[in-house]
Each structure stands twice: as structure tokens, then as C-alpha cells.
């Protein structure tokens, strides 16, 4: 499979997820901006994938990111999507334009919803609907010292 084929539209995603579930595969969902992919992202996504059988990543569009993080993203949505889709342990990438992935999560109804442990369970968007549907909401420990912001700051220091 070509990485670009893992990038699914909101319309195409439900049938793919339903097929995985029909095969008894546990669907893991996470989301984020993933502006500059770093070791923390890779470690967390790989661990998230291994909490189930398939990993779906909800990716904020450029418009969504710019609302959440002024001045961002540094990389456009298709670049960020292709980079995520190129990871062996990512099974699907779907863009969402809203400020939160709630509607997308309500569509996917994943067996497992995951974020890094920079988020409390109660602060993870979608935790209520996933728990109400009998799913799990879990966090993965952060890899200390890695963030997109930190990379940007270090690049700025180079220029100063």
C-alpha cells in the first residue's frame, strides 16, 4: 500500500473502520497537529498502535491548527498527512477542520482513544462518548524533552 492511500476522507473512513471492526480488529484513535514530527510523536504513535490492532490518526487541518496555535503550522496539512501515513504503524490518517475531533470521534467510535499524558483523561476530547460506547481512554507517557515548540525555539536560537 502506498502511504498516500492511507489518507482517507471523512466520507471514506466509516466503511474502512467498520470493516476492521467486523474482522474483530480493535481500532485505536488519536489526534493531533503533528507539525514537525519528532521522536516523542513516533514513540507515542507506535505505542498507541500496539494498544489495539489498527491506528487511525485524526489530523488537524491547517485552518484548524492556525486557530489553536497562532503562527502555525510550519508544514502544510498534506505534508503532515503524508509523513504520518508513511509510518508503518499508522493505518489511516484523516483530516478534520474543526477545533476539536469530537465529531470525527463520534463517527469512528474507536475501541481505544489515546493521547499523550500531557492530557488528563478528563481533558481528552471524546472521552465521554468513547467510554459510553464501552471503549477505553488511555494516555501514553511523554518522551521528555521533545516538542515541536522546542524544535522551533532551538532553530530560533541558531538564527540569533
Ligand X SMILES: Nc1ncnc2c1ncn2[C@@H]1O[C@H](COP(=O)(O)OP(=O)(O)OP(=O)(O)O)[C@@H](O)[C@H]1O
Ligand Y SMILES: O=P(O)(O)O[C@@H]1O[C@H]([C@H](O)CO)[C@@H](O)[C@H](O)[C@@H]1O
The binding site for ligand X (CB under 6 A) comprises 30, 32-35, 40-41, 43-44, 69, 115-116, 118, 142-143, 146-149
User: 20 or 60: whose CB is closer to ligand X?
Assistant: 60
Neighbours of 130 (CB within 10 A): 22
Give min distance, CB of 120 to ligand X, in A.
Answer: 11
Return the one option of ligand X, ligand Y, none that residue 121 interacts with (CB less than 5 to 8 A, by type): none
User: 78 or 142: whose CB is closer to ligand Y?
Assistant: 142
Which residues does 148 contact at the CB level (< 8 Å), separation at least 6?
A: 33, 35, 36, 38, 72, 74
Does 124 contact ligand Y by CB under 6 A?
Answer: yes
Alpha-carbon dihedral 12, 15, 21, 23, rounded to 10 degrees = -110
Within 62-147, where are the H helices?
62-68, 77-85, 102-108, 127-132
Q: What is the contact surface with ligand Y in residues (CB under 6 A)?
A: 31-33, 60, 68, 99-101, 115, 119, 123-125
Amino acid at each position: 500500500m502506498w502511504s498516500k492511500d492511507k489518507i482517507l476522507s471523512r466520507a471514506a473512513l466509516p466503511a474502512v473502520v467498520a470493516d476492521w471492526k467486523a474482522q474483530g480488529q480493535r481500532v485505536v484513535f488519536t489526534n493531533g497537529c503533528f507539525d514537525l514530527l519528532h521522536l516523542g510523536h513516533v514513540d507515542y504513535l507506535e505505542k498507541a498502535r500496539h494498544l489495539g490492532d489498527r491506528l487511525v490518526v485524526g489530523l488537524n487541518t491547517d485552518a484548524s491548527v492556525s486557530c489553536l496555535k497562532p503562527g502555525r503550522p510550519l508544514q502544510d496539512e498534506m505534508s503532515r498527512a503524508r509523513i504520518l501515513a508513511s509510518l508503518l504503524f499508522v493505518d489511516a490518517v484523516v483530516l478534520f477542520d474543526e477545533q476539536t475531533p469530537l465529531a470525527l470521534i463520534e463517527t469512528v467510535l474507536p475501541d481505544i482513544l489515546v493521547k499523550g499524558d500531557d492530557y488528563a483523561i478528563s481533558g481528552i476530547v471524546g472521552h465521554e462518548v468513547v467510554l459510553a460506547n464501552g471503549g477505553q481512554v488511555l494516555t501514553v507517557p511523554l518522551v521528555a524533552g521533545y516538542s515541536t515548540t522546542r524544535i522551533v525555539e532551538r532553530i530560533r536560537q541558531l538564527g540569533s
